[in-house]
C-alpha cells in the first residue's frame, strides 16, 4: 500500500516536471537576456572612457591581452593573425603619412607596434591609461612610455607629427571618442591614423551577424557608420584621407588616415 502511494507520488512529480519544463526553459531564456542587457550596460556601454581604461588595468587583463596577440596556438590563431594584419595596415598607413619628427602611440597597450615604429628611427612615445599594460611592453631604444589619459595628454600642441590610435575608438562612447579625437589631433598637428569598428556597407551585415551569434555587441560596443565617422572627423577639423579594411570581411576593423583640413601633405 505504502509502495503504491510512493509510486503514484513519483508519477505525479515526473508528470509535473514534463509540464513545467517548457516554462522553465522560457524563464531561463528571459533571465539570460536580462543578464546580458545588464552586462552590456555596465561593462560594454560605459558612460565614459574611464571604465574602458580600467578594463585593462589589472595584471590578469594585461597578461591575457599580451598572450592573445603573441601566441600562435590554434585557439588564439585568429587574434594572432588579426594582430599581424593590424601591424601591416598601420605600416601601410605610415608609408603614406611619412613621419619625420616624433610618433605618438596612444593607446600603446603592450607595445605591439613599437618594433614597426622603431624602423623609422625617430622618437616614439607610447601612452596608455594602464600601467600594467605598459609594464608588459618591450624595452626598445628611442621609445618612451607614459601613463596618461588619451583625452587629456600632457604634451604641447603639435609635439608629434603623427598620432596612431589602434583598438581604442571601437570601445569609446561617442562623447569620449570625440574628446580623444580632438586631443590626438591637437598633439599631432592634425595627422592621425586610427582604427574604428566600421558598420557601413557589407560590414554592417557582418557586425549584426557576429553580434547575433555571440548574442552580444560587447566585442565592439561603439561602431561607426561612414556618416558618423565623417561628422566626427569634421568636427575635430580633420578630413578623411583614406579608409581601409584590416582583414577584408573577416573583421569590422578599419584603419583611417585623417589630416587637418587645409594641409598640403597627408
Ligand X SMILES: C[S@@+](CC[C@H](N)C(=O)[O-])C[C@H]1O[C@@H](n2cnc3c(N)ncnc32)[C@H](O)[C@@H]1O
* Chain position whose Cβ is nearest to ligand X: 109
DSSP at 257: E
Give the cell for residue 130: 594602464
User: Between 56 and 155, whose beta carbon lies closer to ligand X?
Assistant: 56
Measured distance CA(95)–CA(72) in Å, rounded: 28
Interface segment toward ligand X; rule CB under 6 A; list 2-10, 164-172, 213-221, 231-239: 164-172
Which 108-127 positions form the footprint of ligand X (CB under 6 A)? 109, 112
Which of 46, 99, 107, 221 binds ligand X (CB under 6 A)? It is: 107
Residue 244: its H or E element: strand 238-245
- SS3 of 253, please? strand
82 near ligand X, judged by CB under 6 A: no
Which of 150, 220, 236, 255 binds ligand X (CB under 6 A)? It is: 150
Measured distance CA(191)–CA(187) in Å, rounded: 9
Measured distance CA(185)–CA(197) in Å, rounded: 19
Measured distance CA(131)–CA(120) in Å, rounded: 25
Give the cell for residue 35: 543578464
Q: Which of 232, 160, 161, 162 is nearest to 196 (CA)?
A: 232
Which 37-66 positions form the footprint of ligand X (CB under 6 A)? 49, 52-53, 56
Q: Is the peptide bond before 117 cis (omega within 30 degrees of 0)?
A: no
Number of residues located near ligand X, criterion CB under 6 A: 17
Q: Spell out, one character per residue from 128 to 147, where the chain touches ligand X: x when CB under 6 A holds, - when not.
A: xxx--x--------------
104 near ligand X, judged by CB under 6 A: no
Minimum distance between the CB of residue 51 and ligand X, rounded to whole angstroms? 9
User: Between 51 and 239, whose beta carbon lies closer to ligand X?
Assistant: 51
Provide the binding-site residues for ligand X, judged by CB under 6 A: 49, 52-53, 56, 107, 109, 112, 128-130, 133, 149-151, 166-168
Amino acid at each position: 500500500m505504502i509502495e503504491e502511494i510512493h509510486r503514484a507520488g513519483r508519477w505525479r512529480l515526473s508528470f509535473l516536471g514534463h509540464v513545467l519544463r517548457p516554462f522553465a526553459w522560457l524563464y531561463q531564456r528571459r533571465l539570460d537576456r536580462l543578464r546580458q542587457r545588464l552586462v552590456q550596460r555596465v561593462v560594454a556601454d560605459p558612460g565614459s572612457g574611464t571604465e574602458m581604461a580600467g578594463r585593462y588595468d589589472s595584471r590578469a587583463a594585461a597578461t591575457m591581452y599580451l598572450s592573445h596577440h603573441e601566441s600562435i596556438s590554434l585557439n588564439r590563431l585568429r587574434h594572432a593573425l588579426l594582430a599581424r594584419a593590424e601591424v601591416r595596415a598601420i605600416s601601410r598607413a605610415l608609408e603614406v603619412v611619412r613621419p619625420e619628427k616624433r610618433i605618438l602611440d596612444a593607446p600603446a597597450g603592450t607595445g605591439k607596434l613599437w618594433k614597426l615604429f622603431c624602423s623609422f628611427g625617430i622618437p616614439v612615445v607610447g601612452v596608455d591609461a594602464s600601467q600594467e599594460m605598459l609594464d608588459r611592453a618591450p624595452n626598445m631604444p628611442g621609445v618612451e612610455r607614459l601613463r596618461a589619459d588619451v583625452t587629456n595628454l600632457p604634451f604641447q600642441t603639435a609635439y608629434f607629427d603623427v598620432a596612431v590610435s589602434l583598438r581604442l575608438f571601437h570601445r569609446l562612447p561617442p562623447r569620449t571618442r570625440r574628446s580623444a579625437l580632438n586631443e590626438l589631433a591637437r598633439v599631432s598637428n592634425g595627422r592621425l591614423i586610427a582604427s574604428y569598428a566600421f558598420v557601413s556597407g557589407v560590414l554592417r551585415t557582418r557586425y549584426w551577424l557576429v553580434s547575433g551569434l555571440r548574442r552580444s555587441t560587447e566585442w565592439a560596443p561603439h561602431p561607426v557608420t561612414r556618416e558618423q565617422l565623417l561628422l566626427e572627423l569634421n568636427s575635430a577639423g580633420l578630413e578623411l584621407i583614406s579608409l581601409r579594411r584590416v582583414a577584408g570581411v573577416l573583421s569590422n576593423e578599419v584603419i583611417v588616415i585623417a589630416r587637418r583640413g587645409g594641409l598640403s601633405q597627408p
